[in-house]
Chains A and B, each alone.
Chain A
């Protein structure tokens, strides 16, 4: 089992390096000059050139790349072009905000989607299935920005029950959590439904019925564990994706997370910040997938190789 984890990690390091290299060169192809953006409209060519040199952007791209790789290897991601602060600290703060929001959203999504998927599978092709699956897919199909604006309109503007944005107390979590969860509900419901449907027709479920096991117990002891793997995998994958991809939600709700940080960094052509963020997103993807794999191995001993 340990070798499997090590192997996955080794693969991850390679893919992260490729991802990072790709991003490094792509953002430098992107039109726009960070030095000119930082200097502002009134800066002279000379000022811009001085800025460029101080940022190390006058060197060749290859040289910049090698310097950057060396620094990253030493744990130094550089300083933000916008603020001059080390990007690491800024990202960590934002990551904490994003992570707490994503965790809440995924838990909410699972709390709805897994029971919904199970019920839909048991009552397949009947009313509970059709209604639950429809709700799940519909909520995922709503664009996040639209849902967010509607919720703000109803709960913040009209009812004045919940704050429309920012990070005051726990009430601030409610609306962004609901919006993010809604985007995930459809996929998790469908996944759970599909695997439970498959397990329900398995021979060992028939064996359990032939033993006289109660249907609820069959569901709990024989079906759910065996149907868990695909859902666990999808949740792992989606957690990574949502962490990196909640830009719209964070922007609308003025949430100080990594999504908003990325948008600002791109607008300012803040190369070190963009590079570091991409790397963080990559690490997040890898970590959550690995966690999902580990959880699956815990559930199913057959996945553990000797």
Chain B
């Protein structure tokens, strides 16, 4: 097979405070015709910089690309900027990570594809339009002709990514560079996009440079894999070879840190990644103990107002008649995709959102509250959020951030600082760091600080809203282990809100699957994962990419959208019946399609 892309000794440096600092250190690789080469690595590994170097899209003033990049035999580094413009979008095209921001919000999607065609093909306006329309059809956008003139705002994330792919494919490039194209998407949508990419690769005989951090995605789509770390090539191998017998120790660490759906089959208890260090007991408490948190019939709706007098025109049925409980020392995972209402439940439990109906009761409270948050509960229920970068006040020293919850509760400055030092040790950070600002910490360290801050008021229940989703795999594993250890030490309960089925499988005792504001299935983790009943649970589990190229499977290609929980004003939610599958495992009765 011929090489479409041949990269030799690629070194990319950035100008940082007057010095040229290399971030990619002389790497070699090739992409053969019709092949998909996956580039994997954690943040800062230089994988995106490599892609932008090939495209020559880095700012010329502050970056320098050296070595050799040959596309179909032509040296790209010798090309002038004007010549590169003729190559970009024509012979090599790129798909970016963020479908929500990567399309011009004010230009109709069809026009954005047409623009690419007219730049590189000598066709008339009408012909270009027809070609653009063909492309929309090709990426399976339903009623493409009608949607040609719509702006990106009217498309969902998955549909926007289809538009991006159509745009990249429009001029039939020799090479497609896809930079984390599915990372921002929900798992069922990710499965659709991966499927589409695989189909198109066969139809169009594309060569793909696929950048990702997700080993599951690699296993699904790659022919060959190159692993990068700190700007260097660690290992390059055929995909099966890499997963079966990784040569480099870094690859092994990376693969070990990947949570795999199904890897916990047959086990009852959550398990730490460093399983040797400590064991988690299967069931923390006998079932007849009073639960720590009891939620009954929780219903949360938001009004959509419009018109001159702001009359309610529709309602978002964010959470509909949801009941669950969490025992002491237990982890309940709330899984679901965007718009399923899982985060809204978390926010309501700490009083950040109001509910319409329902009862929330935390053990020890004299009476349960009907949709009101009492101050006492704020102390017993704490929350950690997804983005450790945005969750800490950048101008507040860590010491101040950690002691704030204590100080507002009347703890003296000295006692609070002492406790803060203790908290730092608890999350395995040095108390010496208390004087530092958030920007001096890495993402993983910041998430530890967020956990410490939540623990400062000695809560019984921690709500973790996608708390590890933004972290690199190895860091993710460390934080999960920390959470499991803390659970043991402090007898904590967790409400773990996540879309990541593999992580959920690792650390939860019980799982509740949410779809459009309702719990469709709930039971012990083992039952839900090993014996899923509801079609949605099955679809969700099936959509998760398995980090094992031997188990690669084709899924039926659908263009389902995630439905919206926005209903008309007079919508009356149907009465649901829960069926008991086995003790503790319930599923919502569904209609056969």
Do the beta carbons of B85 and A208 come within 8 Å of each other? no
Contact B89 A210 (CB under 8 A): yes
Are B89 and A204 within 8 A (Cβ)? no
B66 at the A/B interface (Cβ < 8 Å)? Answer: no
B105 at the interface (CB under 8 A from A): yes
What A residues does B86 contact at CB under 8 A?
Answer: 212
In the complex, A203 Cα to B96 Cα: how many Å? 9
Could you tell me the distance between the alpha carbons of A221 and B101 in the complex, rounded to whole angstroms? 16
Nearest-Cβ distance from residue B94 to partner chain A, whole angstroms = 4
Question: Chain B 107-136, CB within 8 Å of chain A: the 1/0 string?
Answer: 100000001100110000000000000000
Specify the chain B residue showing the minimal Cβ separation from A222. Answer: B104
A299 is an interface residue with CB less than 8 A from chain B: yes
Say yes or no: B308 contacts A209, CB within 8 Å: no
* In the complex, chain B residues whose CB is within 8 Å of the CB of A305: 306
Q: Which residues of B contact A3 (CB under 8 A)?
A: 306-308
Which of A7, A210, A300 meets B88, CB within 8 Å?
A: A210
Check A226 against B93 for contact (C-beta < 8 Å).
Answer: no
- CB interface residues, A 186-218, toward B, < 8 Å: 202-204, 206-214
Cα of A203 to Cα of B95 in the assembled complex, Å? 11
A212 with B306: CB separation less than 8 A: no
The answer on a CB contact under 8 Å between A213 and B85 is yes
Interface flag for A301 (CB, 8 Å): yes
Within 8 A of A (CB), among B69-98: 84-90, 93-94, 96, 98
Pick from B104, B119, B153: contact of A212, CB under 8 Å: B119
B329 to chain A minimum Cβ distance, whole angstroms, is: 44
The digit string for B17-58, where 1 denotes a CB below 8 A from any CB of A, is: 000000000000000000000000000000000000001010
A-B contact count (CB 8 A): 77
Complex contact B88–A204 (CB within 8 A): no
* Residue numbers in B under 8 Å from A6 (CB-CB): 308
Tell me if A302 and B308 are in contact (CB < 8 A): no
A210 and B55 in contact, given A202-B101, A301-B151 (Cβ under 8 angstroms)? yes
Contact residues of A between 257 and 306, Cβ < 8 Å to B: 299-302, 305-306
Q: Does B103 lie within 8 Å of A212, measured CB to CB?
A: no
Across-interface contacts of A157 in B (CB, < 8 A): none
Residue among A204, A305, A306 with the most chain B CB within 10 A? Answer: A204
Bound CA span A251–B105, Å? 47
| A305 to B305 CA separation, bound complex (whole angstroms) | 11
CB of B106 within 8 Å of the partner chain:
yes
Residue A225 lies at the interface, judged by CB distance under 8 Å to chain B: yes
Instruction: Determine how close the nearest CB of chain B comes to the CB of A257; give it in whole angstroms.
Output: 36
From residue A232, how far is it (CB to closest CB) to chain B in Å? 13
Task: Report B148-173 CB contacts with A as 1/0, cut-off 8 Å.
Answer: 00010100000000001001000000
Is residue B430 contacting chain A, with contact meaning CB distance below 8 A? Answer: no
Bound-state CA distance A306–B307 (Å) is 9
CB of B106 within 8 A of CB of A300, answer yes
Q: Of A6, A300, A301, which is in contact with the most chain B CB atoms at under 10 Å from its CB?
A: A301
| Chain A window 225-241, contacts with chain B (Cβ cutoff 8 Å), 1 for yes, 0 for no | 11000000000000000
- Which residues 1-39 in A have Cβ within 8 Å of B in the complex? 3, 6-7, 10
**Of A202, A211, A214, A221, which is within 8 A of B167 by CB?**
A211
The minimal Cβ–Cβ distance linking B60 to chain A, given in whole angstroms, is 12
A305 CA to B115 CA, complexed, in Å: 28
Residues of A within 8 A of B119 (CB): 211-213
A210 touches B57 (CB 8 A): yes
Q: How far is the CB of A277 from chain B (nearest CB, A)?
A: 31
Contacts A221-B107, A226-B106 given; does A211 touch B89 at CB 8 Å: yes
Q: List, in ascending order, chain B residues with CB within 8 A of A299's CB.
A: 106
CB-based contact B104/A213 at 8 Å: no
Known contacts A203-B102, A204-B102, A305-B306; is-contact A212 B107 (Cβ 8 Å) = no
Given the interface contacts A3-B308, A203-B98, A306-B306, does A210 sit within 8 Å of B103 by beta carbon?
Answer: no
Residues of B within 8 A of A225 (CB): 106
Overall SS of chain A's interface: helix
Q: Is the CB of A206 within 8 A of B308?
A: no
Task: Report chain B residues within 8 Å CB of A7.
Answer: 308
Which residues of B (256-306) have their CB < 8 Å from a CB of A? 306
B117 (CB) vs chain A CBs: closest residue: A211
Task: Give Cα A179 to B159, complex, Å.
Answer: 52
**Chain A residues closer than 8 Å to B90, beta-carbon distance:** 212
**Set of chain A residues within 8 Å of B104, measured between Cβ atoms:** 204, 207-208, 222, 226
Is the beta-carbon distance between B103 and A207 smaller than 8 angstroms?
Answer: yes
Please determine whether A212 and B120 come into contact, CB atoms closer than 8 angstroms.
yes
**B151 with A302: CB separation less than 8 A:** yes
Task: Report chain B residues within 8 Å CB of A221.
Answer: 107, 115
Min distance, Cβ A208 to any Cβ of chain B, angstroms: 7
- The answer, among A204, A210, A214, A306, for a CB contact under 8 Å with B101, is A204
> Most chain-B CB neighbours within 10 Å: which of A210, A213, A299, A300?
A210
Within 8 A of B (CB), among A43-83: none
A226 touches B105 (CB 8 A): yes
Q: For residue B101, which residue of chain A has the nearest CB? A: A203
- Taking CB atoms, residues of chain A closer than 8 Å to B103 are 204, 207
Q: How far is the CA of A274 from the CA of B148 in the complex (A)?
A: 55
> How many angstroms from the CA of A170 to the CA of B173 in the assembled complex?
59
Question: In whole Å, how far is A224's beta carbon from the nearest beta carbon of chain B?
Answer: 10
Contact with B105, one of A209, A210, A214, A302 (Cβ below 8 angstroms): A302
CB-based contact B89/A206 at 8 Å: no
Contacts of B164 in A (CB 8 A): 207
User: Can you name the residue of chain A whose Cβ is closest to the Cβ of B307?
Assistant: A3
B136 CB, min distance to chain A CBs, angstroms = 16
A212 and B89 in contact, given A3-B308, A302-B151 (Cβ under 8 angstroms) = yes
Q: Which residues of A contact B105 (CB under 8 A)?
A: 204, 226, 300, 302
Q: CB-CB < 8 A to A207: which residues of B?
A: 94, 96, 102-104, 164, 167
In the complex, per-residue mask of B304-323: 1 if CB is within 8 Å of any chain A CB, else 0: 00111000000000000000
A206-B88 contact given A212-B120, A226-B104, A305-B306, CB 8 Å threshold: no
Question: Smallest Cβ distance from B128 to chain A, in angstroms?
Answer: 13
Minimum CB–CB distance for A276 against chain B, Å: 30
- A288 and B90 alpha carbons, distance in the complex (Å): 45
- When C-beta atoms are compared, the residue in chain A nearest to B308 turns out to be A3
Give CA–CA (A59, B106) in the complex, Å: 59
List A contacts of B89 (CB < 8 A): 210-213
With a cutoff of 8 Å between Cβ atoms, the chain B residues found around residue A213 in the complex are 85, 89, 115, 119
When C-beta atoms are compared, the residue in chain A nearest to B93 turns out to be A210
A6 to B106, CA, bound (A): 25
**Residue on B with the closest CB to A302?**
B153
Of B87, B90, B106, most A-chain CB atoms within 10 Å: B106
- Residue in chain A with minimal CB distance to B106: A225
Partner of B57, one of A202, A206, A222, A306: A206
Q: Are A211 and B101 in contact (CB under 8 A)?
A: no
Residue of chain A at shortest CB distance from B170: A211
Measured in the bound complex, the distance between the Cα atoms of B303 and A90 in whole Å is 50
Per-position 1/0 for B421-433, Cβ under 8 A of A:
0000000000000
Q: Contacts A212-B119, A213-B119: A206 and B87 contacting too (C-beta < 8 A)?
A: no
A210-B93, A210-B96 are known; give 15 further A-B pairs, CB within 8 A: A3-B308, A206-B57, A207-B167, A210-B57, A211-B115, A212-B85, A212-B87, A212-B88, A212-B116, A212-B120, A213-B89, A222-B104, A226-B104, A301-B151, A305-B306
B interface residues (Cβ-Cβ under 8 A, vs A): 55, 57, 84-90, 93-94, 96, 98, 101-107, 115-116, 119-120, 151, 153, 164, 167, 306-308
- Some 29 contacts from A to B, beta carbons below 8 A apart, are A3-B308, A6-B308, A7-B308, A10-B308, A203-B96, A203-B98, A203-B101, A204-B103, A204-B105, A206-B57, A210-B55, A210-B57, A210-B96, A211-B88, A211-B89, A211-B93, A211-B115, A212-B87, A212-B88, A212-B120, A214-B85, A222-B104, A225-B106, A226-B105, A301-B151, A302-B151, A302-B153, A305-B306, A306-B306
Listed from nearest, the 10 A-B pairs whose CB atoms lie closest are A211-B89, A212-B89, A212-B88, A203-B101, A210-B94, A203-B102, A212-B85, A204-B104, A211-B116, A3-B308
